[in-house]
């Protein structure tokens, strides 16, 4: 019995000692940190960062709370030291090769192993690997990492450089640009070991990267090359490839040194599609390396088979800019995503799960990983593959000019190579984009004037820009991932220029930054609108988590600190005054600001989709927040949906009705991203707010697949003849899809008001909640008078629908989503626009 126990314990303690490649996670060791030249040492978390470590040790408060951020500036100037001790057994030391691997260090470090300098690093987007066998000893080993200040480093580099560069000290460092502060995020210039630290022990060979190259794909077969790049020698090694879905099991004897290409043919390939166009078929392969029949290493790879092309062809208007997936054009519907947490180590897997599920529920098929944030974690891309969310992937450069000295360029080269190699097998990644808004900045933001560049300076700086984004990056892509389109900068042209409407992508900021009316979204519809957005204030349930209740007003220090746009509240206020009545009640202001954002996003998306196929993409700014902010997000930091999220979901639905009010007419479009034609009826009902329909009009329609069609034009004369009170009337359009037996199968609606909300003659509705026998499912019923923009609120609850209208005698079944508890009727707060008038 005792013997069995000893055997068991040793198996648990050294489970992989027989393997030829083993990894030890040093993140699990005990780590400490301290400030340089200070005695006090504290326990640290690895992966982690200095701000959360200081908070955990109660040296600082939560950096997101109230105005705390402002008290924490001192942290960015200090030098921080992280240390650990770990033991190595003599058995481990017998391995011929031992590598120390840092998956991510933020950012400037000096690394010491057993008190001897091992290396320095200066890029948080790279991993670092060192051969350390000779530097290790049996027994205790000491690892120390000194984090130099990224702010000091940046400033030193800035003062040493001949020309001051736009973008602040951050552009000198390969560190997340938003860490230095952004117009939706704090400045908490953090540092730390933000990804795992590992020891890798191996014998003769270990694979570094496995690339799956799709050489051809048709309906009968897919020809692939599995390209293995290895450390050590592959000579005499057998590679075995097994594919779960096809049952393939193929072995190859290798004769080359570091790389090997294994041809694999898949018959009857099942293609990968994005959401809405087909299944997300994926293949799961395992690639084993064997030496004399003994397994050395086994790697798992998931891949998808599809073709992706970006079509940029001259047409009579300019140049197209759209994506074809397996030969089919895709209208991209989605958002720009920023890191889900300011401190990247705070991101949990469940957060990605729920964020991406929300993206799917809102009918999106694309996310842009914006260049001012961070390359996302592997699990993010894995989820996008399996959910069918296309990714527009920026490299991490934004809104500034970057140095182009040889050290910096080399650093960028390594970073791009590494990120491309890490991500290129993901079918979801649709393109690489060099940067965010640098070409726009250069040509439109007046940098030359602001920084007093001479024409020679300008020529030099533009040459530097070109060398990174038009030479270094595309050259790497040519070698490492020639199959994907590379877009140098998003957007190519600034929104003030006419080319921005005619070709490439556009960031349309005339609404918000340009203070133009929402209707101008129709004028600003380019070929692919990769950014547009409008701010709103998060719900009070969210605000209370980041500031005391007595700070709930726009002038409080805490509130101002969570609004990073210099004139954000003024802009919201200006637009609000056009649409909503004045109010001093903060909750009403929050509600109005959210409705305003919802309206802006609705008009924008309707404009974009109605111009299909001229316009083939609509990505709003921005999906999420990385801290509790007053920002352009449709989901606040705590994941709570703002009103905009519901209007976006509706506007992105496969079938959508768009309405445009012109001085002389009302235009009604039907938009469909469906892959087949639909038969149905477009019904337009003219209602007054008492619930009387005084005109109803039905047209039989074939809703053409993948199209936008102008379905109805109603002239203003028609309304004039009715002599109606347009402040007391609305028009509700419905598209009722029917099957071959004329049975209705689906219905989409769109209500149009002829006036802005503040001009409407609303009267008191009577809305109430009625419980159903199903838990957390209830009916919202309205008795008399139109109830507009009904808001349902309860702590920690999300609703299947929200911010909707009910005519008198109408009701709607609502489910509470995401909840672990049963809500009582009195816990659900209900309100409509009338109450705020």
Binding site for ligand BMA (CB under 6 A): 182-184, 372, 399, 436-437, 507, 531, 621, 632
Q: What are the φ/ψ torsions at residue 765 (nearest 5 degrees)?
A: -85, 170
Indicate the residue among 383 and 507 with the shorter CB distance to ligand BMA. Answer: 507
CA distance 423 to 385: 11
Shortest CB 615 distance to ligand BMA, Å:
18
Shortest CB 335 distance to ligand BMA, Å:
12
Contact between 63 and 561 under an 8 Å Cβ cutoff? The reply is no
The bridge status of strand 429-436 relative to strand 390-394 is parallel
CA distance 625 to 341: 7
Which residue is nearest to ligand BMA, using beta carbons? 183
Identify the bridge partners of residue 335 per DSSP, sorted by sequence position.
Answer: 367, 620
Residue 29: name the closest of 125, 100, 135 by CA. Answer: 100
Contact between 522 and 588 under an 8 Å Cβ cutoff? The reply is no
Shortest CB 564 distance to ligand BMA, Å:
9
Shortest CB 257 distance to ligand BMA, Å:
45
- Residue ranges of E strands in 150-269: 180-182, 185-187, 192-193, 197-202, 205-217, 221-232, 237-243, 248-253, 259-267
Indicate the residue among 304 and 491 with the shorter CB distance to ligand BMA. Answer: 491
Contact between 174 and 412 under an 8 Å Cβ cutoff? The reply is yes
Shortest CB 371 distance to ligand BMA, Å:
8
- Residue ranges of E strands in 40-196: 42-44, 80-88, 97-102, 105-106, 108-113, 116-122, 128-131, 139-148, 180-182, 185-187, 192-193
CA distance 79 to 82: 10
Contact between 396 and 338 under an 8 Å Cβ cutoff? The reply is no
Shortest CB 487 distance to ligand BMA, Å:
14
Q: How many CB atoms lie within 10 A of CB 160?
A: 8
Residues near 657 by beta carbon (within 8 Å), at least 6 away in sequence: 668, 669, 670, 671, 682, 733, 734, 735, 748, 749, 750
Is the bond preceding 418 in cis, omega lying within 30 degrees of 0?
no
Distance, C-alpha 174 to centroid of its chain: 20
Indicate the residue among 326 and 336 with the shorter CB distance to ligand BMA. Answer: 336
Q: Which helix (H) or strand (E) holds 802?
A: none
- In our burial notation (b when 16+ CB lie closer than 10 A, e otherwise), range 724-735 reads eebebbbbbbbb
Indicate the residue among 177 and 427 with the shorter CB distance to ligand BMA. Answer: 177
Shortest CB 491 distance to ligand BMA, Å:
9
Indicate the residue among 444 and 796 with the shorter CB distance to ligand BMA. Answer: 444
Shortest CB 623 distance to ligand BMA, Å:
12
Shortest CB 578 distance to ligand BMA, Å:
21
Q: How many CB atoms lie within 10 A of CB 442?
A: 19
Shortest CB 514 distance to ligand BMA, Å:
12
Shortest CB 182 distance to ligand BMA, Å:
6
Contact between 760 and 816 under an 8 Å Cβ cutoff? The reply is no
Indicate the residue among 145 and 630 with the shorter CB distance to ligand BMA. Answer: 630
Shortest CB 352 distance to ligand BMA, Å:
22
- What 3 state SS string does 352-367 have? HHHHHHHHHHCCCCEE
Indicate the residue among 31 and 495 with the shorter CB distance to ligand BMA. Answer: 495
Indicate the residue among 394 and 706 with the shorter CB distance to ligand BMA. Answer: 394
CA distance 641 to 645: 6
Indicate the residue among 125 and 632 with the shorter CB distance to ligand BMA. Answer: 632
Indicate the residue among 490 and 789 with the shorter CB distance to ligand BMA. Answer: 490
Indicate the residue among 55 and 535 with the shorter CB distance to ligand BMA. Answer: 535
Indicate the residue among 224 and 600 with the shorter CB distance to ligand BMA. Answer: 600
Shortest CB 594 distance to ligand BMA, Å:
18
Q: Which helix (H) or strand (E) holds 473?
A: helix 473-480
Indicate the residue among 80 and 632 with the shorter CB distance to ligand BMA. Answer: 632
């Amino acid at each position: 019995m005792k013997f069995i126990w000893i055997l068991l314990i040793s198996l648990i303690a050294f489970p992989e000692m027989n393997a030829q490649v083993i990894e030890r996670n040093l993140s699990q060791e005990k780590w400490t940190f301290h400030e340089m030249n200070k005695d006090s040492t504290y326990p640290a978390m690895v992966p982690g960062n200095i701000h959360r470590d200081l908070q955990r040790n109660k040296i600082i408060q939560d950096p997101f709370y109230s105005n705390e951020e402002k008290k924490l500036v001192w942290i960015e100037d200090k030098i921080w030291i992280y240390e650990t001790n770990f033991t190595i057994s003599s058995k481990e030391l017998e391995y011929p090769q031992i590598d120390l691997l840092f998956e991510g260090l933020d950012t400037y470090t000096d690394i010491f192993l057993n008190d001897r300098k091992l290396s320095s690093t200066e890029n948080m987007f790279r991993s670092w690997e060192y051969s350390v066998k000779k530097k290790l000893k049996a027994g205790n080993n000491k690892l120390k990492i000194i984090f130099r200040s990224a702010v000091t480093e940046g400033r030193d580099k800035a003062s040493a450089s001949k020309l001051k560069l736009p973008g602040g000290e951050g552009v000198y460092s390969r560190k997340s640009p938003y860490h230095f502060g952004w117009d939706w995020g704090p400045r908490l210039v953090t540092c730390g070991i933000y990804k795992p630290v590992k020891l890798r022990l191996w014998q003769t060979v270990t694979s570094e990267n496995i690339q799956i190259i799709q050489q051809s794909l048709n309906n009968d077969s897919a020809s692939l090359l599995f390209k293995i790049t290895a450390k050590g020698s592959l000579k005499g090694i057998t590679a075995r490839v097994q594919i779960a879905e096809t049952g393939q099991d193929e072995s190859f004897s290798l004769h080359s040194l570091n790389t090997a290409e294994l041809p694999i043919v898949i018959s009857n390939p099942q293609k990968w599609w994005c959401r809405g166009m087909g299944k997300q078929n994926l293949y799961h392969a395992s690639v084993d390396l064997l030496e004399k029949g003994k397994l050395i290493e086994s790697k798992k790879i998931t891949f998808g088979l599809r073709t992706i092309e970006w079509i940029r062809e001259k047409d009579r208007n300019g140049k197209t800019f759209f994506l074809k997936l397996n030969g089919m054009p895709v209208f991209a519907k989605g958002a720009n995503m920023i890191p889900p947490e300011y401190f990247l180590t705070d991101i949990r897997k469940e957060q990605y799960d729920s964020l991406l599920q929300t993206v799917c529920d809102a009918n999106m098929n694309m996310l842009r990983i914006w260049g001012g944030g961070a390359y996302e974690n592997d699990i993010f891309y894995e989820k996008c593959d399996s959910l069918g969310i296309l990714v527009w992937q920026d490299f991490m450069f934004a809104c500034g000019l970057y140095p182009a000295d040889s050290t910096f360029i080399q650093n960028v080269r390594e970073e791009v190579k590494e990120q491309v190699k890490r991500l290129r097998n993901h079918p979801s990644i649709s393109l690489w984009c060099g940067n965010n808004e640098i070409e726009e900045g250069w040509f439109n933001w007046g940098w030359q004037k602001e920084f007093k560049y001479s024409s020679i300076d300008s020529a030099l700086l533009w040459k530097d820009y070109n060398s990174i984004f038009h030479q270094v990056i595309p050259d790497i892509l040519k070698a490492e991932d020639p199959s994907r389109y590379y877009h140098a900068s998003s957007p190519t042209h600034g929104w003030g220029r006419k080319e921005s409407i005619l070709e490439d992508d556009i960031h349309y900021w005339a609404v918000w930054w340009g203070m133009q009316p929402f209707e101008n979204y129709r004028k600003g519809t380019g070929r692919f609108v990769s950014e547009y957005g409008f701010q709103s204030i998060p719900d009070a349930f969210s605000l209370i988590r980041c500031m005391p209740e007595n700070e709930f007003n726009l002038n409080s220090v805490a509130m101002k600190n969570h609004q990073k746009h210099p004139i954000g509240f003024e802009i919201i206020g200006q637009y609000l005054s056009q649409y909503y009545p004045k109010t001093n009640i903060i909750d009403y202001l929050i509600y109005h600001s959210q409705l305003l954002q919802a309206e802006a996003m609705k008009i924008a998306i309707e404009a974009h989709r109605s111009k299909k196929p001229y316009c083939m993409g609509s990505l709003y700014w921005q999906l999420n927040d990385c801290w509790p902010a007053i920002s352009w997000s449709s989901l606040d930091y705590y994941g709570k949906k703002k009103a905009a999220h519901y209007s976006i979901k509706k506007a992105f639905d496969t079938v959508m009705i768009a309405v445009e009010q012109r001085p002389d007419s009302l235009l009604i479009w039907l938009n469909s991203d469906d892959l087949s034609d639909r038969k149905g009826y477009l019904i337009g009902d003219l209602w007054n707010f008492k619930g009387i329909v005084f005109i109803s009009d039905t047209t039989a329609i074939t809703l053409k697949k993948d199209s936008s069609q102008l379905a109805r034009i109603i002239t203003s004369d028609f309304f004039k003849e009715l002599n109606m009170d347009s402040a007391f009337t609305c028009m509700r359009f419905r598209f009722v899809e029917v099957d071959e037996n004329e049975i209705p199968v689906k219905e989409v609606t769109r209500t149009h008001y002829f006036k802005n909300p503040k001009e409407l003659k609303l009267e008191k509705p009577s809305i109430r909640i009625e419980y159903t026998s199903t838990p957390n499912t209830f009916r919202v019923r309205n008795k008399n008078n139109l109830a507009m923009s009904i808001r349902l609120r309860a702590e920690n609850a999300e609703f299947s629908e929200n911010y909707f209208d009910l005519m008198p005698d109408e009701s709607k079944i609502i489910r509470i989503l995401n909840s672990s508890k049963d809500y009582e009727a009195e816990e659900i707060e209900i309100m409509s626009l009338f109450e705020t008038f």
